[in-house]
Amino acid sequence: MTNRTGTASALTLSLGLAAALALAGTVALGLTLPATVEQGEYSRLIAIHPGLAWASYLAFGVTAAASALWLWPRTRSSRWDLLAGSSAEIGVVFTALTLATGSIWGRPTWGVWWVWDARLTLSALMLALYLGYLALRRVPAPVDVRARRSAIAALLAVAVVPVNHFAVEWWRTLHQGRSLAQTTPGNDLDGIFVGVMLLGFLAMTLVYCWLLVHRVRVARLEDRLDEQSLAVALDERRREAVLAP
């Protein structure tokens, strides 16, 4: 048990260190990017904005996959429910940061903080859906009932993710095209912008994984605490029943 715990802690520490280094490198290199004619200094946000959006997609994809595994009888386990809820919480944070950095980028580029553009509207809808999913998980109910309804809600909500991703191709939109479709140096983006953006994708992926490990660990502790509290309450009721005249 000690070795297992020690190994897990070492892996978590290594993951956290890798995430910190990748994130620091992304920020440092992002600040060195040259200002562009069209967007000036704000073009440096390409270092973090696409990576944040990718991490939100990843988080909600994991939530959907874990929910499907819970619904499938052969793989049903409480760990999938914990993983789904934990990943959704992190995805909400990344989506909120995506919207915030997008607004900061959009103000000097489009002249407004917000516009009901297809990509922006769908991103806001995605945030609202997963906030609703998290609220649903908080509604009092038996564990299996809560897990089932949350899993179904997650599988319905994830449909907005691919629609959001391809919105810039399916509709006329102010938002630029998909970031990964513009990675040809000398054609769409200069090589240094491509490199920093890809490093941002790696950094946000590592940060997501590190946060997920810790959030799942906290969720397990919360479940154990709830079980202990229930056991204590039941013991108190039994004592009251024995002592009652």
pLDDT of residue 227: 55
Asked if residue 148 has pLDDT above 70, the reply is yes
Assess if residue 5 is contained within a domain: no
Kindly indicate the confidence band of residue 175, based on its pLDDT and cuts at 50, 70 and 90.
Answer: low
Q: What is the pTM of this model?
A: 0.83
Q: What is the tally of structural domains in the chain?
A: 1
Looking at per-residue pLDDT, the higher value among 5 and 77 belongs to 77
Q: What is the pLDDT of residues 100-140, one digit of tens each?
A: 998 888 788 777 788 888 888 899 999 999 999 999 999 98
Residue 50: Cβ-neighbour burial (10 angstroms; 0-12, 13-18, 19+): buried
Assess if residue 159 is contained within a domain: yes
Which residues have CB under 8 Å from 2's CB, separation 6+? Answer: none
Q: What is the pLDDT of residues 38-55, one digit of tens each?
A: 677 778 889 999 999 999
Looking at per-residue pLDDT, the higher value among 244 and 210 belongs to 210
Token pair listed for 22: 């990748």
Asked if residue 184 has pLDDT above 60, the reply is no
Would you mind telling me the total number of residues written for the chain in this entry?
245
pLDDT of residue 40: 72
Assess if residue 207 is contained within a domain: yes
Assess if residue 119 is contained within a domain: yes
Kindly indicate the confidence band of residue 37, based on its pLDDT and cuts at 50, 70 and 90.
Answer: low
pLDDT of residue 229: 58
Mean pLDDT of all residues in 81-94: 96
Assess if residue 241 is contained within a domain: no
Assess if residue 152 is contained within a domain: yes
Assess if residue 15 is contained within a domain: no
Asked if residue 238 has pLDDT above 60, the reply is no
Which residues have CB under 8 Å from 70's CB, separation 6+? Answer: 76, 77, 80, 81, 84, 147, 148, 151
Assess if residue 10 is contained within a domain: no
Give the domain range for residue 121: 46-230
